[in-house]
Copies of this chain bind each other. A is one copy, B any other.
Amino acid sequence: MVVDENTVLKLMIMDKLKTTNNVLLKELSWALGVSVDRIESAVKDLGRNYLIELRGNRVLWNIADNPSMLKPWGWKLIHEVILGSTMEYAKGCGLWSVVVAEYQLLGRGRHGKKWIGGFGGLWATFRLPIMHENANYLPLVIPLIIVDILDRNYGVKTMIKWPNDIIYGDKKIIGILIEAEAMRDRLIANIGLGINVNNDPPLPGSISLKKILGRKIPRNGLLSLLIGWISRVEKLLDDPRELKERYMERLATLNKKVRIMTRKGVLEGVAVDVNELGELVVEVNGRKKAIGPDLALEVRHAD
């Protein structure tokens, strides 16, 4: 992968801006060894994907959009302009850390797939402890939390695409990656979220909140809501039956004809359930087959 010159310049600018929200154009030029003209055009460019703007001879990053300005209670928030990946970084963090990067050089999704993010999205990993018996429910409750937040706080109706995407219509808006590490009496969950907020997703099958709402969204509001709900995630697991019910209501994959790519070949059938292991139950010629997220390399809704 290559990073173009303007991308590097934008990263350099954000690295200076993240600890302040108001800086002279001239100061940025001095601090980076880049002419004012080049800085100015890069800042305008950043304004397409961030609440960053040029006002007179000053550059402003709205504090509601700059995660460095957020101090969430009970969590350590790490905000870096560039990281290898937030998942990898989280491994070295204490519990109750949330890692946000504007750019992931080696970002990854499921099955080691490359995660292509872009400026203005919310790329974050949450690291927290979880009881063994609750681990299986995380892949159910995390998408539910997100769907609810988008619905209640932004009026955006989304659905879950098994196993780990959130879709708006048939377009992907969020990807989720959950990994667990075993400790003595409990697990550590690393919950990775890739949310298309103000970025311009390059793939036609993707969409951003900005595109849906027709305006840029200050990301800290969304991040605060996520932190609040994820803090209470185990409380939400008190009633697994209700959780399952709500999940199924939001599951776009349910009753759809699906086409699932696995290492062994393609499975086609109708999705009829998600079982307690988080496997999708597919009816193929009248027989039910359960397939786990680990085996499903790619899932397509065929109708």
In the complex, whether A83 has a CB less than 8 A from a CB of chain B is yes
Q: Which residue of B lies closest to A84 (CB)?
A: B34
Q: Does A203 contact B (CB under 8 A)?
A: no
Q: By the criterion CB–CB under 8 Å, are B12 and A105 in contact?
A: yes
| A38 vs B83: C-alpha distance when bound (angstroms) | 13
A-B contacts, 19 of them at CB < 8 A, read A1-B4, A2-B3, A2-B5, A3-B3, A3-B8, A9-B84, A26-B92, A30-B89, A30-B93, A32-B84, A33-B83, A33-B88, A33-B89, A33-B101, A34-B85, A34-B88, A34-B106, A35-B84, A38-B84
Q: Is the CB of B5 within 8 A of A3?
A: yes
Interface residues of A in 7-47 (CB under 8 A from B): 8-9, 12, 26, 29-35, 38
Residues of B within 8 A of A3 (CB): 2-5, 8
For A85, give the chain B residue with the smallest CB separation.
Answer: B33
In the complex, the count of this chain's copies comes to 2
List the B residue with the shortest CB-CB distance to A9: B105
Given A12-B105, A31-B92, 7 new contacts (CB under 8 A): A1-B4, A3-B3, A3-B4, A12-B82, A33-B84, A33-B86, A38-B106
Interface string of A86-104 (1 = CB under 8 A from B): 1111111100000101001
| Min CB–CB distance A303 → chain B (angstroms) | 39
Q: Per DSSP, are chain A's interface residues mostly helix, strand or loop, or mixed?
A: mixed
Q: Nearest CB to that of A93 among chain B residues?
A: B30
Partner of A2, one of B4, B29, B80, B89: B4
The 8 Å CB contact of A88, one of B2, B29, B106, is B29
Bound together, the chains give a CA A12 to CA B30 distance in angstroms of: 21
A30 touches B91 (CB 8 A): yes
Which residue of B is nearest A87, CB measured? B33
Proximity bits, A55-97, B CB within 8 Å = 1, else 0: 0000000000000000000000000101111111111110000
- A84 CA to B37 CA, complexed, in Å: 12
A120 CB → nearest B CB, Å: 19
Max chain B C-beta neighbours (<10 A), residue from A1, A38, A80, A106: A106
